[in-house]
Structure 1
Amino acid sequence: MRQRFVVVDLETTGNSPKKGDSIIQFACTVIENKRIVDEYSTYIKPEKSIPPFIVELTGISDDMVKDAPLFREVAPKINSLLADAVFVAHNVLFDLSFLQEELNQAGFEGFYGSTIDTVELSKILLPTSDSYKLSQLAQEENIEHERPHQADSDARVTALLLLKLINKLYDLPKVTLKQLYRLSFSLKSEISELIGDCIADKEKKALEPLHGIEIFRGLALRIQDQPKTLKNEEDKLFEYEYDAEAKFQDLQHAFPHAERRAGQLEMMNNIYDTFIQQKHSIIEAGTGIGKSLGYLLPSAYFSSKYKKQVIISTYTLHLQEQLLKKELPALSKIVPFPIEAQMIKGTNNYLSLAKFERVLRQKDDNYDTSLTKMQILVWLTHTQTGDRDELNLTSGGASFWEKLQTSAGLPQKLQEPWDKRDFYKKAKEAANRADILVTNHAYLIENVTGENPVLSRGAILVLDEAHHFSKAFQTKLGFKISYLTIRTMINRLGTYNQKMVLYRLEKMMKEKNLEVPTGSKAIENAIQDFLYESEQLFYLLAKYGEKLALSPGRQKLSIHYDSRGQSRDQNNIKMLAERVIDYLRQIREAADERVASLMRNGDSLGKSHLYYVTEAAGLLDELGELQGYLRTFFLRNEKDTVYWADIIKSGKNTAVTLLSQPLDAGGSILENYLGGFTSIVMTSATLTINGSFSFFMEQLGLKKETFITKSYPSPFNYMDAVKIMVPASMPDISIIPLSEYARNVSEHITAAAAGSKGRMMVLFTSRELLRMTYEFLREEQQLVDFTLLAQGITGGSKWKLLKNFQGFNKGILLGNASFWDGVDVPGDKLSCLVIVRLPFSAPDEPVNAARNRQLTAEGKNPFSQYSLPEAVLRFKQGFGRLIRAENDKGVLLVLDKRIQNTSYGHAFLDAIPKVRVETNPLSQLEESVRKWLS
């Protein structure tokens, strides 16, 4: 490794030197011959005062820099350090551009050598990292990082990270390095030089040993572990233990600190009996019961004794992973026999090696495409599963993945060489062997509604998070298509000048001297007309939505669309939709002529040409599906299905998405879809309202006589653990502007946060109210020491926000719909939960409005029959976020006075365990919260 690296980090007063921001600390660490040989750090006196939030972030105050040199005084030293070096930084563009500006102002030419961005390099060499923040990478790579956001500490840590990354680069097979080198010229920093040096060093050495790696068809792959035979003849000797004391002793043997939970032990017996008797059960297991182990232990014993597979289905992929990586390993410590547990997901989660082989050969200078290819090349030397969820892809990378995911339709000639190594095929084989198979509701629904099921229909089924199953079913049976998706599909087809799918088809036609009726000019005109008219169609639909909006100026609108409507606007939309659909038909037919003609000459096609034709055929299938969606949405709505458009305005841009959903899950889910399972257990922490399962069962069309129902209450002492506070000072939202209501919400959050010292989660039912509240909180001086996180605003997924929230001592997390359940923040990391509004769904939302009309037509009361019970269950789910362990203590702040002053308010309080309820004025809220938690 010949280069000299200077690893730089800056602390600054802001983000823009052109706006007067300055460097307040410069640090660099010098690396030569893979060793740190020098370090330099200095504070720098800025031209202005350091802002408070920078002082909070870095710990650097005006007093610390008052006697420090000015930048122009240290510029010669910095300039000499950078001479003839590779400039390295974590997010190199920021540090280099800032430093360049300061050097220019000091009279120096600046730095114009090679750069390496350790964020970019980490994405390639650590493709499965959860985050590429320096502190997170340091933790993953066991690098001590004592003072984050201090330049000297950050520079040294970045240097140590670089050395680790260089070692990882050297560990890669030569074939992978050469592929990375070819792709690296599309990157933003000069990583190609680093890879080139690595290859040159390897070329001088003898043939490298490949430990656990095989080279197949030019790809370096991790050699797959062979399946182990876990079962033995003695398994059948282990009988399920009904006795609670004996069972608890088994739990204590594995976990000495296990708490005795009578409800959990009884739940285990109930589920085992359900399996034995081939019956069906619905079980509510309150928070703290230990629901997962409650169904996993009887599942393991039943599967072991009767050699029958038990399928566990959860709502999200995250919960699926948690079961496999946390709950099932815990179970294996308890049972006296081995358990074969596997996980399976939908085909779009698995990499197709056959497709990747082809795509890797295609020249493409797109940054996200090249970066993703490089990530996958490195990942293939580690992964056993080929599961996309292992990867941390950019948004562009996630879009590119769609070209690589496993799907049917690939010609046997292309797929056959990879059959023995096909990730999805191996996942299916593992699924067939499993005693316990973990999947998700979406994959389960795809299986029970599709033509080629993978899951065994004679198996036992456990539905965890069963309260989501109806919604998951309805979503799966509907469709969702955005204007952006439509544009992306057509862009993939491309025009002749863009050299995409259509260009390749035409080129192959000429090479084979083939002709078709529709000329190239006609299809090109149809594409241009489609793009123009579809843009007009969605623009017209957005304008129509704004006319219908009850609250003008809202950022998000959801409007019901009825194809039978005869208003002037609707007739104009339908006329335009007919033209758009017809242009799409012309495009499909013309492209299909070319695909069919090439397929008839398939024997003469090379593998690359065959892949391109197959890719085109797949795209045409997608466009056919799109054509059907557009026709159904705009022209022929189906009965008992709701059609609506979501319209989101962001600045000058407007995003429009078309959606459909059946009003119910199609009668009885059990009879129509789940009848093939021998026994079914549905479970969740929130299934009953005042002890009744009726609402949940009606959602799924389940008959009471078919299911055994049982509810096990939480073992926690809520009377001593929780106090509900309802401020007397909150105004009525219906009589003031939303912005004024948001200001009141922010005042109460501020007071409660001061009392709880943060550790607060705030649950909203409206994105607009969340956004407005966030803006008020951000300006609140009392919260200057607090960290404010907001879903959809401060960035990151739900799980990333949760992880960050738990990492701060004074965190306030504002969350919307997905935070109401499935969130586990144990201990004192969450001490105050705020419910801003009782969680009623908006009555004017298209699905709710349609359901209300349906219930009214049936002579039922929509509020009491649906809106209220749905809101009560959701409130119950939200309440369950607060106390997650026996010693937890917390405040539930409900900012909606309807819980006390309406005839239906008691239904919310009756649905949760009995707790103290207190009414406070705003002036006493901070002290009341502090006193309860102290």
Structure 2
Amino acid sequence: MEKYVIIDLETTGQTPSKDDKIIEVGIVVIENNKITDHYSTLLNPSMPIPPFISNLTGIVDKDVEDAPTFKEKANEINDIFRDGYLIAHNVPFDLGFLNTELANNGVHPLSNPVLDTVELSRILYPKAPGYKLGQLAEFLNIHHNEPHRALSDAYVTAKLFLNLKEKLDSLPFETINQLLKLEKTFKSDLYPLLKERYEKSAFSTVENENIVSYSGLAFRHIEVVKEKQDSIEVSYGDYLDSIYEKDGSMQQHMKNYEKRNGQREMSEAIFDAFQIHKHALLEAETGTGKSLAYLIPAIYDAKKTKRRTVISTHTTQLQAQLLEEEIPLIQKLVDFEFKAALLKGKSHYISLEKFERSLDSDQQDNYDMALTKAMILVWITETETGDIDEIHLPSSGYLFYRKVSTDTEGYIDPYSPWFSHSYYQKARKRAQQADIIITNHALLCTDMFNDYQFLPSYDKVIVDEAHHLEETASRHYGLKLDYINMQFILNQIGSTTEAKSLGKVLSKYSFDKEQLSLEKWDTIFVDTKYEVDDLFRSLFQYVVDQQKKNKSLSDIGRTQYRFETEKEDPKKWNTIEEMATRLTFYLRDLIHILAEIEQYFEKKEVLNKFDKDELKVNIELLQSFIDRIEKLFLIEESIEQVRWIEIETYGSRNAVYLYSEPTDMSQLLANDFFTRKQSVILTSATLTMRNSFTFIQNRLGLPEESFIAKNINSPFLYDEQVQLMIPDDFPDIKYGNLDDFVYATCEAILSLAEITNGRMLVLFTSYDMLRKSYRLLRETIDLDKYVLIAQGISSGSRTRLKKNFQTFDEAILLGTSSFWEGVDIPGDDLSCLMIVRLPFQPPDHPIYEAKSNYLKEAGKNAFFELSLPNAVIRFKQGFGRLIRSTNDRGIVFVCDARIIKARYGKFFTESIPNVPITFDSTPEIMKKAEKWF
């Protein structure tokens, strides 16, 4: 069957069962891989078209008043599909609508084989940035002249399908063979297409030299070649001149290059610190171009000394930017070769051996599992890194991925073929040969606290986004335990009769039941799961009882409760400790039986490597539960810890998360990091409070005598580009006027939106206030004019919400927590930043409370030593969202009058660039804002 009929519909809404109707049909026909015909018609829905749909499609009631009804066109549309596949971008939607309308008009519904281009794109283009039609069109350079019009969308879908068919025809035989095994779970009727490709590739002699196949798996061949290293003869001053100065390589290779004095100043400061073996604190304000500024000396020094430099970032976005943009640019700027490599923790890399084993499993896959396996099968024929961050798996696909990551591998024999194909080993090899290793704070801290065995040895490191180093180090030195993860791992191990980890191992070998305590395992296993449930339910109830006295809501909407053994209700807490002790005994019994099973099969010499690893990993996982339970409840740590419980207030009765972190990281970092390394450069746009580095120096334990500190000023003219405006007439929240304050905030948002045409980012410090504001704005704002997007309410990741915000001309984005930093919205996309409250941590936040007490006991002022500096740094992060280039202009509107009235307010205003400040009534501010714009 070589006829493919592609359909796209525009409708009055999402649900045909609720009487939504079709207003436009677009159909494109493909025969013999060419577009041969098209069909298009508007339809009269006999109902008004909602304004949102008219805005989206451009189709208004007037356009369809003389159009035919669906009934008049039903048979004509139906005939086009005869003897063809039905293809749509999201088949359930288009086919569902079409068949409802056909049935309502007495025409037989369609039962053609279907192909869904969303599903096919996810499988065949696993690296695509997204799977909306517009995103795929951009990714594949398909011209899309009228998005959200039926015929234009159908044409784009048709071209997308031809691309997909071509991609399918390029896949190796082994990949097609594996996809055939998964095909029956898909929505698309893919079997004939796969079968045709299977038969062609089975007898094809043409081989792709980039593809290796081993054990039924096809994947891209990657060779890590050791290259000859150039040496550098040029002096550092001449090197910088050749890059930065007039007619230097920056001018030649960068479009619209503007010289920034701060950039060279920063490069020189880093090189000086390297030369004299000192650490450095460098605050580089927005617009400095700090990534290039630190890469240039890092590369020079690594080449000159033949000793690698490590660069650590907090976010994967910055890692990607360094590798994809900055490093290729520097390669053009300098006249010598250098190597940069990315290295992450083991959990980021897929294990081909584990993945190949999972494909042999006779377990029936659900849809997400089959889709995940299919995506990975295609991805491994393309990836050069094996880093799972390259693709977006379905949400439950990550549960499957956890079982096949390199992290789950036991010992791999270096002579095994799988070792030679290991992505993680190749990443390590690349890192060992590189001049520059890019990593993340997480791996940097794991390495630091495990005696430096994860990263290749280094003396010098540049820590970007350094204001996150303390919290990342705390998390890595601390621990986390939660109900969901414990039950997930126990369920993965399973009973002896289930087709899970243990059952599968046992099913492969013959054994004497008398000699193995299998019935004992099943009994203890059930009891262990019951004990886990019981402990976490009791913890949930304990927090509910205590929260009446001590309630703290985290910024992710969970209730947090800090516990200190000696201060808890003795009767109830003793019961919890007894339950924790009992659970560790059950877990020890399970470990004992697993060790017995392993030894039994070892003696018989039948246990294969994979099954031995499986048993070992399970023993390690159960042991890690024991260690964490003991540290949380049963033993005192040598280093003072803060321990707390988080519960999902409206979640199930065992949605409980346990945490422990050191109260003070400074001594640990001083001993394990700063004294062990020659030169640590810490940089960020936000390290100081009123130009002083004292806070960050104390928090990180930087030795006074061994570091240099420097502020690198921004090239932006803040006094001309920004207005800081604070109203003096908002209700005072301190006196319980929360609803009045939210109302005043929403009124200000509405007034500013009129002045700035939307383009507003509103930063909250609490989800509760964000939700209240969102509800009020939805009732009062003109939703036909403004698009209202809210974190935690509108669906999608932070990046997706940001993209949606930039897509619409007049949008308002409400954000909290993660939106205070790392979100770049340059140019006219953002004209107004509103900061609703100064970003102080709530005083009952568990970590803050413990650190405050620790400081008080040392005779220090917790507000000025901890609370205020943290809030100022957070405020500076928020402030930095507005101006991202020399052409940006905008208003920062702070609803919190404490910034002017409180004695500590000047700490905020004197920590940001010098900008004009207006403190006046809201009406006067609005007049001034309108005039300024």
Normalised by the size of structure 2, how large is the TM-score?
A: 0.94
* Alignment match, 1:22: 21
* Alignment match, 1:539: 537
List aligned pairs for 1:336-375, cutoff 5 A: 336-364=335-363, 365-375=365-375
* Alignment match, 1:647: 647
* Alignment match, 2:470: 470
Whether the 8 Å contact between 1:837 and 1:894 is mirrored in structure 2 is yes
1:57-112 CA-partner distances (Å, limit 9, x unpaired): 22222222222222222222222223333222112112222222222211233122
Whether the 8 Å contact between 1:43 and 1:68 is mirrored in structure 2 is yes
State the shift of 1:256 in Å: 6.4
Letter in 1 for 2:194: I
SS class of match (2:20): coil
Whether the 8 Å contact between 1:90 and 1:117 is mirrored in structure 2 is yes
Whether the 8 Å contact between 1:369 and 1:397 is mirrored in structure 2 is yes
Range moving further from structure 2, 899-908 or 530-539? 530-539
State the shift of 1:139 in Å: 0.6
Letter in 1 for 2:645: A
Whether the 8 Å contact between 2:552 and 2:845 is mirrored in structure 1 is no
Would the alpha carbon gap of residues 491 and 454 (structure 1) be closer, same or farther in structure 2, given more than 3 Å must change? Answer: closer
Would the alpha carbon gap of residues 572 and 17 (structure 1) be closer, same or farther in structure 2, given more than 3 Å must change? Answer: farther
Letter in 1 for 2:583: V
Whether the 8 Å contact between 1:121 and 1:191 is mirrored in structure 2 is no
State the shift of 1:844 in Å: 0.8
Would the alpha carbon gap of residues 3 and 653 (structure 1) be closer, same or farther in structure 2, given more than 3 Å must change? Answer: farther
Would the alpha carbon gap of residues 499 and 686 (structure 1) be closer, same or farther in structure 2, given more than 3 Å must change? Answer: same
Would the alpha carbon gap of residues 384 and 737 (structure 1) be closer, same or farther in structure 2, given more than 3 Å must change? Answer: same
Whether the 8 Å contact between 2:25 and 2:150 is mirrored in structure 1 is yes
Would the alpha carbon gap of residues 931 and 378 (structure 1) be closer, same or farther in structure 2, given more than 3 Å must change? Answer: same
The match for 1:590 among 570, 590, 593 is 593
Whether the 8 Å contact between 2:342 and 2:438 is mirrored in structure 1 is yes
1:328 aligns with 2:331: no
* Alignment match, 2:727: 727
* Alignment match, 1:820: 820
Would the alpha carbon gap of residues 385 and 256 (structure 1) be closer, same or farther in structure 2, given more than 3 Å must change? Answer: closer
1:632 aligns with 2:631: yes
* Alignment match, 2:915: 915
1:306-331 CA-partner distances (Å, limit 9, x unpaired): 22211111112221111111111222
Unaligned regions of 5+ residues in structure 2, if any?
A: none
1:512-533 CA-partner distances (Å, limit 9, x unpaired): 336545342x322333333334
State the shift of 1:746 in Å: 2.5
* Alignment match, 1:752: 752
Q: Name the Cα RMSD after superposition.
A: 2.5
State the shift of 1:494 in Å: 1.9
* Alignment match, 1:77: 76
1:209 aligns with 2:207: yes
State the shift of 1:651 in Å: 6.8
Range moving further from structure 2, 511-520 or 843-852? 511-520
* Alignment match, 2:583: 580
Whether the 8 Å contact between 2:449 and 2:672 is mirrored in structure 1 is no
Whether the 8 Å contact between 1:9 and 1:26 is mirrored in structure 2 is yes
Range moving further from structure 2, 324-333 or 590-599? 590-599
1:391-445 CA-partner distances (Å, limit 9, x unpaired): 1211111121111211375354697112222211111111111111111111111
Would the alpha carbon gap of residues 51 and 257 (structure 1) be closer, same or farther in structure 2, given more than 3 Å must change? Answer: closer
Q: Distance in 1 between matches of 2:222 and 2:468?
A: 35
State the shift of 1:472 in Å: 0.9
1:566 aligns with 2:564: no
Would the alpha carbon gap of residues 256 and 629 (structure 1) be closer, same or farther in structure 2, given more than 3 Å must change? Answer: closer
SS class of match (1:708): strand
1:62 aligns with 2:65: no
Letter in 2 for 1:434: A
Letter in 2 for 1:753: A
Letter in 1 for 2:19: G
SS class of match (1:29): strand
Would the alpha carbon gap of residues 215 and 641 (structure 1) be closer, same or farther in structure 2, given more than 3 Å must change? Answer: same
Letter in 1 for 2:320: E
* Alignment match, 1:399: 399
Q: Distance in 1 between matches of 2:607 and 2:594?
A: 18
Whether the 8 Å contact between 2:185 and 2:370 is mirrored in structure 1 is yes
Q: Distance in 2 between matches of 1:108 and 1:11?
A: 20
1:835-873 CA-partner distances (Å, limit 9, x unpaired): 111000111111111112212222222111210111011
List aligned pairs for 1:259-658, cutoff 5 A: 259-364=258-363, 365-407=365-407, 410-412=410-412, 416-451=416-451, 453-508=453-508, 511-513=510-512, 515-516=514-515, 518-520=517-519, 522-549=520-547, 555-564=557-566, 565-601=568-604, 603-606=605-608, 610-636=609-635, 638=637, 640-650=640-650, 655-658=655-658
Whether the 8 Å contact between 1:240 and 1:301 is mirrored in structure 2 is no
Q: Distance in 1 between matches of 2:366 and 2:451?
A: 38
Range moving further from structure 2, 32-41 or 376-385? 32-41
Would the alpha carbon gap of residues 245 and 224 (structure 1) be closer, same or farther in structure 2, given more than 3 Å must change? Answer: closer
Range moving further from structure 2, 483-492 or 57-66? 57-66
Q: Distance in 1 between matches of 2:885 and 2:192?
A: 53
State the shift of 1:633 in Å: 2.3
Letter in 1 for 2:238: E
Q: Distance in 1 between matches of 2:527 and 2:252?
A: 71
Letter in 2 for 1:112: S
* Alignment match, 1:241: 238
1:174-197 CA-partner distances (Å, limit 9, x unpaired): 221111111111223222332123
State the shift of 1:761 in Å: 1.5
* Alignment match, 1:132: 131
Would the alpha carbon gap of residues 437 and 411 (structure 1) be closer, same or farther in structure 2, given more than 3 Å must change? Answer: closer
State the shift of 1:904 in Å: 1.3
* Alignment match, 1:86: 85
SS class of match (2:631): helix
List aligned pairs for 1:651-670, cutoff 5 A: 655-665=655-665, 667-670=667-670
Would the alpha carbon gap of residues 67 and 729 (structure 1) be closer, same or farther in structure 2, given more than 3 Å must change? Answer: farther
SS class of match (1:834): strand
1:612-662 CA-partner distances (Å, limit 9, x unpaired): 342232123112212222233234453511111222244777732111111
Q: Distance in 1 between matches of 2:651 and 2:511?
A: 50
Whether the 8 Å contact between 1:516 and 1:593 is mirrored in structure 2 is no
Would the alpha carbon gap of residues 296 and 841 (structure 1) be closer, same or farther in structure 2, given more than 3 Å must change? Answer: same
Whether the 8 Å contact between 1:244 and 1:265 is mirrored in structure 2 is no
Letter in 1 for 2:530: Y
State the shift of 1:553 in Å: 12
Q: Distance in 2 between matches of 1:928 and 1:193?
A: 67
How many residue pairs get matched? 924
Q: Distance in 2 between matches of 1:418 and 1:245?
A: 46
Whether the 8 Å contact between 1:41 and 1:152 is mirrored in structure 2 is yes
Whether the 8 Å contact between 1:755 and 1:927 is mirrored in structure 2 is no
Whether the 8 Å contact between 2:175 and 2:217 is mirrored in structure 1 is yes
Q: Distance in 1 between matches of 2:450 and 2:412?
A: 23
Letter in 1 for 2:716: F
1:454-504 CA-partner distances (Å, limit 9, x unpaired): 434443211111111111100111122322112211110123443112322
Unaligned regions of 5+ residues in structure 1, if any?
A: none
Whether the 8 Å contact between 2:10 and 2:25 is mirrored in structure 1 is yes
Would the alpha carbon gap of residues 653 and 513 (structure 1) be closer, same or farther in structure 2, given more than 3 Å must change? Answer: closer
Whether the 8 Å contact between 1:320 and 1:438 is mirrored in structure 2 is yes
Q: Distance in 1 between matches of 2:415 and 2:743?
A: 60
Q: Distance in 2 between matches of 1:257 and 1:493?
A: 58
Q: Distance in 2 between matches of 1:859 and 1:78?
A: 81
Q: Distance in 2 between matches of 1:22 and 1:653?
A: 43
List aligned pairs for 1:665-704, cutoff 5 A: 665=665, 667-704=667-704
Range moving further from structure 2, 740-749 or 275-284? 740-749
State the shift of 1:775 in Å: 2.5
State the shift of 1:807 in Å: 2.9
